[in-house]
Amino acid sequence: MMALQLSSTTRGVLYMLMASVFFALMNVFTKNLGTMPVAEIIFVRALIAASLCLAGIWKLGISPWGEDRKGLVLRGFAGMLSLAQGFWLLQHIPMAAATTLTHLSPIFTTLLGVWMVKEAVTPLQIGYFVVCFVGVALIQGFDVRISWLHLLIGISASFCMGLAYSSVRRLGKSEHPLVIMLYFPLVCLPLTGAAMWFGFVVPSPLQWLNLALLGVTSQLGQYFMTRSYQTAAISTVAIVSYSEVIFSIVLGLLLFAENFNLMTYLGMALVLIGVVLNVMKGNSE
């Protein structure tokens, strides 16, 4: 019995590592797109996501509309705003810094949980939040490539993702996971489709390739992340998800010659430590 549990934990960790690799690769393909309008990037990603979600919903024979439609739209809209801001950051600052700044979402998920699902925040967790924001201040203060605008957009992206995650926690009691996932492209497609009329850029063959790879890697990341949470304890695999920052540092260095000073690396480490301790605290209760 112990061996079976150990095997499940190992598989869960491996699934999450694979998810983190695919999400880091998604960031690479996003950065390869250069200054292509963010609306176009999100439109293609949402089109692929909608196709896969609808195929699964059709196979299961469930309604795609759900019960709490206002909550589902809120989740989709918050996810779209977070993704748009995250993609914009990837176009303007080093990949590892963008990934770190957009990985503050568990902090905002915890804080929003007080309001949305009536969860308590302990003084210890507040201390972890302070550690994270000290890390963010170090990232911004010691890297001339990162301005206050980049910092604020990164925090906003994390806040929007925290709102999306909090909505998922509430919706999970009444909605099928595929329905929750479907509302992201349902919100994205009309809004980004309309935005494309004001600044459409015909992609080059290389950009089409990167768009396709972005869509595939993002869906593979979502798949392996879901399999990880289905296989092992959340308290174990949620921490592993922050390996994406490490992969982003390595890929950014190898592919884009991105490097940082010691204080910026220290800031990234503090953000990771604060978030991981918060995740561990939340899952130990």
Higher pLDDT, 247 or 13: 247
> What's the pLDDT score for residue 94?
92
Instruction: Examine residue 12 and state whether it is found in any structural domain, yes or no.
Output: no
Instruction: Quote the percentage of the chain above a pLDDT of 70.
Output: 86
Task: Say whether pLDDT at 177 is over 70.
Answer: yes
Does 264 map to a domain? yes
Q: Give residue 205's pLDDT.
A: 94
Distance CA 119, CA 142 (A): 35
What is the domain range of residue 109? 19-283
Residue 119 pLDDT class (50, 70, 90 cuts): low
Averaged pLDDT of the chain: 83
**Is 53 inside any structural domain?**
yes
Single-letter amino acid, residue 174:
S
Structural domain includes residue 193: yes
Measured CA to CA in angstroms, residue 218 lies from 26, 27, 70, 93, 255 at distances of 6, 9, 26, 20, 19
Q: Is there a domain that residue 9 lies in? A: no
From 217, 240, 218, 215, select the one nearest 228 (Cα to Cα): 240
Condensed to tens digits (0 to 9), the pLDDT of residues 199-212 reads 788 899 999 999 99
Domain assignment of residue 82, yes or no: yes
Q: How much is the pLDDT for 153?
A: 95
As a whole number, mean pLDDT of residues 94-112 equals 81
Q: Is the pLDDT of residue 154 over 50?
A: yes
Specify whether the CB–CB gap between 266 and 138 falls below 8 A.
Answer: yes
Segment 13-27 shows an average pLDDT of: 89
**Counted domains in the chain:** 1
Quick check: is 2 in a domain?
no
* Global confidence as pTM: 0.81
In a domain, 244, yes or no: yes
* pLDDT winner (highest mean) among 86-100, 123-137, 267-281: 86-100
Q: Take residue 81 and report the two structure tokens written for it.
A: 């705003």
Integer Cα distance of 174 and 19 in angstroms? 26
Residue 1 pLDDT level (bands cut at 50, 70, 90): very low
pLDDT in tens, 46-76: 998 899 889 989 999 999 998 888 989 998 9
pLDDT digits (tens, 9 = 90+) for 238-277: 667 778 888 888 899 899 988 888 888 898 888 888 877 7
Query: Cα angle at 92 between 90 and 95, to 5 degrees?
Result: 40
